[in-house]
């Protein structure tokens, strides 16, 4: 992507792997810590906003080495953060007894998204259309995450009465 869209040389483009790794780890740490301090659905919303900024930059900003690396860092930050927050969020929404089967479906979505992204890029000759689809899906998911309310936790006595 860096070589095709941004016209970076192979050595510079390879640095994207490092940027993605650091941003992914940062997202796991930052959003994971935030999810212990605030509503997890709001943490997901925050991550989506960060990812939306990155995707908007990939689509609409003049791309150079710095803007490209900043944009992919935003996307990787969200990816790392959501993969950390989703298990707890799923257990809060569906209960611990249903965590494995429900999170399994969500985790499968990460893989399906990767395959679909590559297929779209192959069909349309590059990642621009893929990024447009991701941008639209981020807007949709952001709208959903801002309207969803996290279930209220029952007190221990109410649940066992």
**Which of 20, 154, 155, 10 is closest to 77 using CA atoms?**
20
Buried-state track 104-113, b at ≥16 Cβ within 10 A, e below 16: eeeeeeeeee
pLDDT in tens, the chain (161 residues): 999 999 999 999 999 999 999 999 999 999 999 999 999 999 999 999 999 999 999 999 999 999 999 999 999 999 999 999 999 999 999 989 988 899 889 889 889 999 999 999 999 999 999 999 999 999 999 999 999 987 776 654 455 45
> In terms of residues, how long is the chain?
161
* Residues contacting residue 65 through CB under 8 Å, at least 6 positions apart: 6, 8, 12
pLDDT score recorded for residue 157 = 47
In whole angstroms, what is the distance from residue 45 CA to residue 103 CA?
A: 18
For the chain, give every domain's residue range. 2-150
What's the pLDDT at 110?
Answer: 87
Q: Residue 156: its pLDDT value, please?
A: 45
Cα distance between residue 161 and residue 107, in whole Å: 35
């Amino acid at each position: 992507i860096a070589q095709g869209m941004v016209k970076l040389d192979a050595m510079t483009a390879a640095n994207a792997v490092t940027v993605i790794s650091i941003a992914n780890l940062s997202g796991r740490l930052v959003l994971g810590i935030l999810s212990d301090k605030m509503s997890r659905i709001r943490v997901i919303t925050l991550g989506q906003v960060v990812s939306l900024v990155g995707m908007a930059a990939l689509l609409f900003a003049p791309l150079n080495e710095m803007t490209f690396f900043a944009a992919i860092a935003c996307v990787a930050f969200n990816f790392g953060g959501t993969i950390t927050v989703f298990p707890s969020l799923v257990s809060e929404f569906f209960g611990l007894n249903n965590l494995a089967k429900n999170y399994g479906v969500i985790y499968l979505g990460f893989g399906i998204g990767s395959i679909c992204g590559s297929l779209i890029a192959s069909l349309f000759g590059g990642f621009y259309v893929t990024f447009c689809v991701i941008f639209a899906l981020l807007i949709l998911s952001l709208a959903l995450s801002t309207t969803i309310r996290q279930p209220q936790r029952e007190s221990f006595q109410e649940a066992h009465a």
